[in-house]
Amino acid sequence: MSLGIDPNSYANYHEVVVTNLEPNLTVDFNRKLLYGYTDITAITKHSNVAYLDLDIRGLAVESVQNLDEKVTSHSYLNFTIPRNHSIGAQLRVPLPTDKQNEGDKVHIRVNYSTSELSGGIQWFEPNQTAGKKHPFMYTQFQAILARTMIPCQDTPAVKQPYTMSVTVADPLVAACSGAEHCKPVKDESKGTIKYVFHQPVPIPSYLIALAVGALKRESIGPRSFVWCEQEQLEAAKDEFSQTECFLKAAEDICGMEYKWGTYDLLVLPGAFPYGGMENPNLTFISASLITGNKELTDVIAHEITHSWSGNLVTNSSWPDFWLNEGFTMYIERLILMKVAEQNEKGTGMKVRDFQACLGYGELTSAVRSLQSTPELTKLAPDMRGIDPDDAFSRIPYEKGCLLLLYLEHLVGGVQPMIDWLRKYFVEFQRQSITNKQMIHHFEQHFPNVKVDWNTWLYEEGMGPWNPMSYLDQTMNKQTQALVDKWTVDGANDIDANASDIKWDPAQTMVFLDNLANGGKKLGHDVIKKLDEVYEFSKSKNVEISVRFLRLALENEYVDVLPVVEDFVSKHGRSVYLKPLYGELILLSDKKLVDKQKVKDIYQKNRSYYHSVIRNAFDAKLAH
């Protein structure tokens, strides 16, 4: 079932399109809700348009006003909610009779409050924060959760600027995916502070973001600041000190200056369901990325890249999500290549190619984990009636990047691709585009290059090209040699020590991926010795520890259960929890782990997890 032109939205943006949003909300931590109103400006695209259809979910709508009239009983519009679906409801607002012709501008105000069903908002008690003194809240709207806080046309096909006014209890601080519009205003009598933010660049609704807590802000570069609780500030400043370096590399590769003013980072609790979220001006970053040695700062390169691919040029619907993430993965690796080459001449391409090998391993793991839902291994899956969060995986990231790597192979290397990408960003900036538009642009630029687009976009599985013969294998061969050592010999005969993995942390990730993807069952003695020698389960690098834990569970080594239990209590990222809980469920089905024990672990941490995690596992693991 398709809700509308966008399969995941009721919005009738083909008839009347929202051009500006102005939420004015108060944050109530006691009741865990926001209340107030959102002013909406829309323009009709045709004549005889009778309604403006908006997306809502979990909102208690009190009234809708026509702001083009003086406030009287006649200025209130008789809204209805004619359709409801598990992923949202249709808020239908009748347009005034004098506002139904092409080009008419409509101004309305929706008065409402959020509710416990507003899954895009996550609340933390003081004891769940680093400082333990003040509560914390943040929003995460990708893919279709903006509708849980703001009535909007919740589709990436619609972009609009916005201005947000947020009132919070003093001394809490609000931060938003826009620049501070004016100085905060204190109301001593009410004990509140009002913040106003403005985002002048049109963005899709999923990029609207808000966080409120005991936040501090300090500089980490000429145009970047880090926001976090005081207790995390020094560690975060050091961890993300390379931000400006990544920004400059991205500008050079994309051939276009950074358009958003400041590039700030906000560190969220480990429960954040993603590694990072590319909210304009204010990238959200998981505290799990702070390792103390910058091992996972490639995520910053990824989120910076979204300032061009995703935020400036956006997929028009979620089946085209790879246009955001595949392009971003490809360019992220070019950034890492450029930075590595600057640090040590001759290493850039080796680093890029090894990162691509890592990605191919992640693609292999993702395809394997989606065997029961092979439709979701397509680059452009059918998303009708499906919550995009339920379909979330590494497929659009790594299969999308693989396609771009294949195009690079066809057109003659990195530089021709960069030349095309620069023109692509100029052509489509501030737009939302489809696969068809991207393909047409590529074919106009490379008229003699033939690509089987249908196979790449619509066939299940890994994709029709293996990149290994194209990529530099220097670093990969080192990891494969260690894989061979551990899979050829018996555990007792393996000559191994900690110095084996004194290399790039990404090589350790590939080593573990290759052990998992090699098709050979590993004995419990091998898993045990791996951890004894390399101490993977104690690693501060979550990308390493989660790979080891998944490898152990896949090989039915249940002795790691206490470590898994500790891990899932600290890290809420979707790509960590879904495979770990999935493996625990499989082991409980085999009677190797007590099913009630798995449920108890989940229930203990459920309130810590974002709604995208709860929605994935409540049916299987909630009491």
- What residues are designated binding site for Zn(2+)? 302, 306, 325
Nearest to 87 by CA among 396, 397, 391: 391
- 39 burial via Cβ count (<10 Å: 0-12, 13-18, 19+): middle
Question: Of 360, 397, 406, 609, which residue is the catalytic one?
Answer: 397
Beta bridge partners of 193: 168, 186
- Dist. CA 107–CA 23, nearest whole Å: 13
- Contact assessment for residue 123 and residue 137, using Cβ atoms and an 8 Å cutoff: yes
The two structure tokens encoding residue 218 = 């300090």
Q: Helix or strand or coil: residue 373?
A: coil
Q: Distance between CA atoms of 346 and 318, rounded to whole angstroms?
A: 39
Strand ranges, E, within 8-147: 16-28, 33-44, 51-56, 60-66, 76-77, 84-85, 88-94, 105-113, 121-124, 136-139
C-alpha span between 286 and 418 (Å, rounded): 30
**Whole-number Å distance between alpha carbons of 610 and 617:** 11
Task: State which H helix or E strand residue 151 sits in.
Answer: none
Instruction: Please tell me whether the peptide bond between 171 and the residue prior to it is cis, using omega within 30 degrees of 0.
Output: yes
Q: What is the dihedral of CA 126, 243, 502, 340, to 10 degrees?
A: 160
Instruction: Report the alpha-carbon distance of residue 572 to residue 411 in Å, rounded.
Output: 40
**How remote is the C-alpha of 527 from its chain's centroid?**
32
Q: What CA–CA distances, in Å, run from 71 to 10, 39, 109, 420?
A: 29, 14, 11, 53
Instruction: State how beta strands 264-268 and 224-229 pair.
Output: parallel
Q: Which of 99, 110, 144 is nearest to 37 (CA)?
A: 110
- For residue 301, the SS3 value is helix
One-letter amino acid at 13 equals: Y
**Of 623, 458, 453, 487, nearest to 555 (Cα)?**
487
- Active-site entry in 229, 239, 278, 303: 303
Whether the Cβ atoms of residue 356 and residue 409 lie closer than 8 Å to each other = no
What is the C-alpha separation between 53 and 379, in angstroms, rounded? 29
Residue among 87, 23, 12, 14 at smallest CA distance from 45: 14
Numbered residues of the known binding site:
302, 306, 325
Q: Is the peptide bond before 380 cis (omega within 30 degrees of 0)?
A: no
Q: Is 303 one of the catalytic residues?
A: yes
Helices 542-554 & 524-534 angle (0-180, nearest 10): 160
Strands 313-315, 431-433: pairing is parallel
**E-assigned strands of 131-209?**
136-139, 160-169, 173-176, 179-180, 185-187, 192-203
**DSSP E strands, 312-366:** 313-315
What gap in Å lies between CA 428 and CA 339, rounded to an integer? 27
Q: Which two tokens stand for residue 132?
A: 């333990």
Residues with active-site annotation: 303, 397
